[in-house]
Amino acid sequence: MKKYPFKFLDSYDKEDRNVFFGRDEEIDALYEMVFQSSIVLIYGASGTGKTSLINCGLAGKFQPHDWLALMIRRGSDINKSLEEALNNSGGKIDLDSKETKWFDEWGDESGKSNEELSAIGKSIRAVYQNSFRPIYLIFDQFEELFILGTVAEQQLFIENVKGILQSSQPVKLIFSIREEYLGYLFEFERAIPQLMQKKLRVEPMTLEKVKQVIVGAASFEGSNITIKAGEEDSVAEAIFQKVKGGKKSLTIQLPFLQVFLDKLYLNITGDESRQTPAEFTFARVNEMGEIGDVLIDFLEDQVLNISKTLKSKYKDLNIELTWKILSPFATLEGTKEPINKKELIDRLPELSKSMVDDVVAAFINGRILRHDENSDTYEIAHDALAKPIAEKRSVEETALLEIKRLIKSQVGVKEEAREYFTEKQLAFIEPYLSKFQPSKEEREWVDKSQKFIQEQKELATKKKLQEITKKKRERRKWFAIVFAIVVISLGFIVVREIQDRKSQIEELQKDLERQMRLDRTQELLSLVMKGRGEKYENLSDSVLDQILLKERTYPLDSLIEIKASVSPSNAGGENKNYTMWLDVPSFRKDEIKEVQYNFCRGFTDRLRVSKDPTSSFAIGYLGWGYCPTMRIDVILESGDTIQRNFSFERYFEENPPID
Amino acid sequence: MKTIRIFIASSSELKEDRDQFRLFISRENDRLHKKGLYLELIQWEYFLDAISDSRLQSEYNKAIESCDIVVCLFFTKVGKYTAEEFDTAYQVFKNKGKPKIWTYFKNAQINTGSITDEINTLLAFKKKIGDLGHFYTEYTNIDNLINQYRSQLDKFLADFEEETKLPSDPKSKEPKEIKNTFNDLLTPNLLKAIAKYNRKAGDFLSANSDWEENKHLVQTAKRIIINGYVGVIGVQIRKLMSIGEEEYSESKMKRYLENCHMTAKRGLQLICYALISSLWDHKVKNEVNFSGPQQDALVKFFRNAAEEDMLAFSELLKNLLEIYSANKLEFLISEAMDLLPLLNEGSKFQSACEYLNQLPKLIQNSSFKLSDCLESEKNLSVVLEHLGFLAEYRMISINEIDFNQQRNDEEGLYLHNYTFLDGEIQANNDQNKVRRESSPVISHAVILFKDNYRKNINLDPFIIDYNGLALTGGSKICFYSFCNTYDDLNLNFNFIEDNSRVVIKKSNNPKPSDSDLNALNRWLSSKENRKDMNFDKVYSLFYHAKKSLTGIEEETTEDLF
């Protein structure tokens, strides 16, 4: 049967070695290195084909009896995964077993004595003696240990690697890591200095290599792809240019090439079973659209298709929900995160399990997701897909993730070492708390933090009040003294200068005027306060004084409120005038530098800033849409930021629109 | 009438395909009954009705064991029973080489809406049988399935008729049940052969007389042998032990034969190279005279433009031993002298060499059988038993020698960096060691010795450590193969791990002369230059040895050093 030579997003393995092209130099270099050191490190950008280089290229260099490869992905814990991989290959050891104890007596210069062997060394020896094949422990996507693993997990892993190296068993370690994470290996290299001694960079695909891939795939015996005679170079070059798009780069990403080739094939044959032979021609390649990010296009197509197909079964399903189901598979930074079914369901509490199951199955079928049986986790088929998924998240989802991380980072440590959430953090957390299911411990810690903040505040207020009362008392005392002196002086004057009565009367009159002025100030103040809104009306002078005192002395973030108003457009139609501003005591405005209004997806300017205190930092727009929830950052002159959320949804609940 | 029983296993979703398949079988029967053949179809629907749950598995086993062919069809899921049926059939096949299992995956469009979690059972199953090395095909529709099936069936029937035609010739038939007996002969024979030379093997045998009964001890015994024989032979034995553990397959037999041949050949090569290397030392001291045929044998070896075969090496060995014997020369591996009487035609040793020598041809014609593997093992065992004394010798690759003498030290220390070469060396680079000595030793060489490390045979330039010379770390032990005598005079070596070619040629990077010390020092400070120097040295040593032992001088072999 003819063979279809492209692998789409899957990596190549040993069985594919006759369709794996363009990496001969790297394969040879890697093969040489394996005989030069017990540890080889392979690094390169995402999508350069590191996994294929090992599983297909290197594995293909070995005879079956010279190569026992154990592929190890981190799963939920790299050390457990390693143990499991060894156990599955016959490395399960009974630590108390006596059957091989006698072996100890013959330790020789090759250091194979039993005594020094760590548990992992014994396990490796058991695996080896099962088949007498040299063992290659291949740690694929090793960066996961540093992105997702704990420090304790990393340290235990270093110990395990030391144990393996000291075991003197025929075992080699190959680490494959994305190059942007090389720096994370610092600690690891300090403990295992030979880690970086033999390393191979897998270069992105150059035009020359792309040519080898395409021409190779078309020319091996049994391929169902051919290239029109004489057009080999131009076809390869055109494909390279198409996949490169407008980028000024000399290389392209392998997954992009694979998806492009697959798309090209389907464009030519329309045969989803990929059996019909196809001839690649220059003209055919040129018919393909200019594809910048083929892969992302492909992902979007899949999301659309799946949403449509499953719509009949699940009425609620739409594109947004489909993206949402993918969301837990990408980290905040846009790298992939393998998770199991339970975690996935937990993270999507509002969705039905059967819908999530069906969508996941459809993504597996579409090769967007992959199931790893060893760890029973699901993950995105390729890193390049993680970024677009992360970018599709709503502000709310992103915030939710950030909050989860924030809470986890605190609750993850022992209670003695934890810090309470700050008021600012709590303000960020609270609106979302009902939207995910914090564990009992997490919930308790949030409550405790709230209580703590409340207590701190009360304490501060009390202190301030005490200070104020103290100051008042001092002032009164001082007034009394002055008053006494004045009275004495006045008495003296009355006795001594009775003739100056006239001028005395004048002075009394002045006093009277001053008193009247004071009364007018109080009156003015209550007038001004009433002008600030209903809630200031009908308040006694003393209450107003208290409010003013609070507004003058309290921390700003307890005084700020986001206000909005929506009114129909003068021009009529669906458009409305949206205005948002900050309600803050006017005499505190000078503490504010600017206010940033963060709009959701769909708005052209997602960030709008007002620096105008005279308008109460207002912004406004005319339009027909609004963000369900907006985040407003109030940047203070002191450099601090106060975060507020404003929900238009709630606003409209409270102020139903009047048409 | 001969009956061929076909068991069909598939999940319920392929009922239609199964019904079509049944129709096809009945049509085939119309055609085949003329040939005296009948295809009997066994399907699970009938089967489940007929048996009780509790006996299900054993009934399956029985039914499958009685079948000749098991056909498995899969589409979007693998039902529990179908998977069990496959496992049962595969287990039976492994034990008996029968029934044939033909697995087909339907590759057709499916409505994504109909996908359920069960798709995972399919993916897992595909991976599992892939890992087992089981071959499967895909079909797009029933016509496609029947077409594929027909061609497989035709081939099967042809073989079936062939087999049943010759029931009277017992030799032509492989034993029905293929029991894995690989290494069963080699392991005890080699263990006994090395026991008197290797303390570990000796102690093991005396402490565990019943070791063959205990699987763990058998594995330990194998490992003692791998690490007991001198390094390069151990490397080969490791391969044989590993292939032996594999499940029965054509590829297993082929590789077993290849490696039986290679193991014996490496053994002969090693002794020949040790003898030639020592002979060169004796020749330099003018202690040797060759007869005409002896001279010819040496010339043949040095001029050969293709690798010699095993018989040529045994011939060379004979000549070399005769030279040593006639000139009363000392040889470190004195036990080797006992081989001389064995190298005559008709001796057991020589016959074994002859048998093993013809294996490459057998492999090339793909005309080998299981019995050939057992026969090869027997002959290899004969050769290796006679080389059992090698278990008393060790091989190391000497790398750099460091000198360390600090203020007020009366004498300096020589730190010899070396790699211990055992049967697992190519898979374990952790054998790099340091040895403190009071005097230096010749560096960058593979040496062979008994107990006294200083009394050794330097195998350079016939056995080299490529990685040691290239200063890359690790070991890559290569055996001299042949030289391009009639061409560019490059030397060809074989890497013992995979037999791949390694070419040593003279570099275009001559070392500056000793008189210009500054230039020389500058040149030596570069690692690349030192690497060239090391390889140039191997090259010139070979031609020096050739000149010394044969009197033939190549024009281009002027000494650079």
Decide if B292 touches A, using CB distance below 8 A: no
In this predicted structure, what is the pLDDT of residue A115?
55
Q: Encode B372-417 in three state secondary structure.
A: HHHHHHHHHHHHHHHCHHHHHCEEEEEEEEEEECCCCCCCCEEEEE
> Comparing B47 with A143, which gets the higher pLDDT?
A143
Flag whether pLDDT at A107 surpasses 60: no
In this predicted structure, what is the pLDDT of residue B163?
65
Least confident of A164-173, A284-293, B358-367: A284-293
Q: Cβ separation of A134 and B429 shorter than 8 Å?
A: no
Alpha carbon of A65: minimum distance to chain B alpha carbons (Å): 6
In this predicted structure, what is the pLDDT of residue B329?
92
Flag whether pLDDT at A47 surpasses 90: no
In this predicted structure, what is the pLDDT of residue A343?
87
Residue A434 three-state SS:
helix
Decide if B115 touches A, using CB distance below 8 A: yes
Structural Rg of chain B based on CA atoms: 31
Mean pLDDT of chain B: 85
In this predicted structure, what is the pLDDT of residue A99?
43
- Residues A180-207, mean pLDDT to the nearest whole number: 91
For residue A178, the cross-strand partners are: A44
> Comparing A592 with B139, which gets the higher pLDDT?
A592
pLDDT digits (tens, 9 = 90+) for B295-347: 999 999 999 888 999 999 999 999 999 999 999 999 999 999 999 999 988 89
Decide if B59 touches A, using CB distance below 8 A: no
Closest-CA residue to A181 (of A331, A332, A44, A329): A44
> In chain B, pLDDT over 90 holds for what percent of residues?
42
Least confident of A114-118, B208-212, B289-293: A114-118
Residue B178: CB atoms within 10 Å: 16
Mean pLDDT of chain A: 84
Banded pLDDT at B555 (limits 50, 70, 90)? low
Q: Are strands B37-43 and B69-74 parallel, antiparallel or unpaired?
A: unpaired
Banded pLDDT at A528 (limits 50, 70, 90)? confident
Banded pLDDT at A105 (limits 50, 70, 90)? very low
- Residues A4-9, mean pLDDT to the nearest whole number: 79
Banded pLDDT at A621 (limits 50, 70, 90)? confident
In this predicted structure, what is the pLDDT of residue A444?
87
Look up residue A168 and give its amino acid. S
Q: Cβ separation of A373 and B127 shorter than 8 Å?
A: yes
Distance CA A135, CA B239 (A): 13
Alpha carbon of B319: minimum distance to chain A alpha carbons (Å): 35
Q: How far is residue B165 from each of residues B37, B159, B162, measured CA to CA in Å? A: 13, 10, 5
Pick the residue from chain B with its C-alpha nearest to A305. B112
B426 contacts on A by Cβ (under 8 Å) = 35, 134
Q: Cβ separation of A361 and B119 shorter than 8 Å?
A: yes
In this predicted structure, what is the pLDDT of residue A313?
84
Interface test with B, best of A28, A30, A35 (most B CBs within 10 A): A35
Cα A327 to the center of its chain, rounded Å: 10
Within 8 A by CB and 6+ apart from B385, the residues are B189, B190, B192, B193
Least confident of A547-551, A609-613, B47-51: B47-51
DSSP at A202:
E
In this predicted structure, what is the pLDDT of residue B55?
54
Flag whether pLDDT at A100 surpasses 60: no
> Comparing A356 with A104, which gets the higher pLDDT?
A356
In this predicted structure, what is the pLDDT of residue B430?
61
Pick the residue from chain A with its C-alpha nearest to B500. A61
Alpha carbon of A314: minimum distance to chain B alpha carbons (Å): 10
Look up residue B376 and give its amino acid. S
Pick the residue from chain B with its C-alpha nearest to A69. B131
Flag whether pLDDT at A320 surpasses 90: no
Q: How far is residue B478 from each of residues A191, B270, B331, B460, measured CA to CA in Å? A: 33, 11, 23, 11
Least confident of A96-105, A136-145, A154-163, A374-383: A96-105
- Residues A15-34, mean pLDDT to the nearest whole number: 87
> In chain A, pLDDT over 90 holds for what percent of residues?
26
In this predicted structure, what is the pLDDT of residue B57?
63
Look up residue A452 and give its amino acid. F
What would the DSSP string read from start to end of B8-32? EEE-GGGHHHHHHHHHHHHHHHHHH
Q: Cβ separation of B429 and A38 shorter than 8 Å?
A: yes
Pick the residue from chain B with its C-alpha nearest to A99. B216
Flag whether pLDDT at B491 surpasses 70: yes
In this predicted structure, what is the pLDDT of residue B426?
65
Q: Cβ separation of A110 and B119 shorter than 8 Å?
A: no
User: In chain B, which among 477-516 make CB contacts under 8 A with chain A?
Assistant: 497-498
Flag whether pLDDT at A263 surpasses 60: yes
Distance CA A99, CA A93 (A): 11
Flag whether pLDDT at B264 surpasses 90: yes
> Comparing A256 with A307, which gets the higher pLDDT?
A307
Alpha carbon of B518: minimum distance to chain A alpha carbons (Å): 31
Q: How far is residue B96 from each of residues A487, B57, B177, B552, measured CA to CA in Å? A: 126, 18, 4, 60
Flag whether pLDDT at B239 surpasses 50: yes
Alpha carbon of B248: minimum distance to chain A alpha carbons (Å): 13
Distance CA A245, CA A229 (A): 26
In this predicted structure, what is the pLDDT of residue B549?
92
Within 8 A by CB and 6+ apart from A557, the residues are A423, A424, A427, A634, A642
Pick the residue from chain B with its C-alpha nearest to A66. B239
> Comparing A440 with A46, which gets the higher pLDDT?
A440
From the list B117, B424, B430, the residue facing A357 with the nearest CB is B117
Q: Cβ separation of A37 and B429 shorter than 8 Å?
A: yes
Alpha carbon of A564: minimum distance to chain B alpha carbons (Å): 45
Pick the residue from chain B with its C-alpha nearest to A112. B227
- Extract the tokens encoding A24: 């001969």
Distance CA B503, CA B136 (A): 41
Q: Cβ separation of A358 and B238 shorter than 8 Å?
A: no
Helix (H) or strand (E) holding B466: helix B466-469
Least confident of A242-246, B39-43, B409-413: A242-246
For chain B, give me the number of helices (H) and strands (E)?
A: 19, 14
In this predicted structure, what is the pLDDT of residue B261?
96
Closest-CA residue to B85 (of B122, B52, B123, B57): B57
In this predicted structure, what is the pLDDT of residue B175?
45
> Comparing B111 with B254, which gets the higher pLDDT?
B254
User: In chain B, which among 415-434 make CB contacts under 8 A with chain A?
Assistant: 420, 422, 424, 426-431, 433
Alpha carbon of B470: minimum distance to chain A alpha carbons (Å): 10
Banded pLDDT at B561 (limits 50, 70, 90)? very low
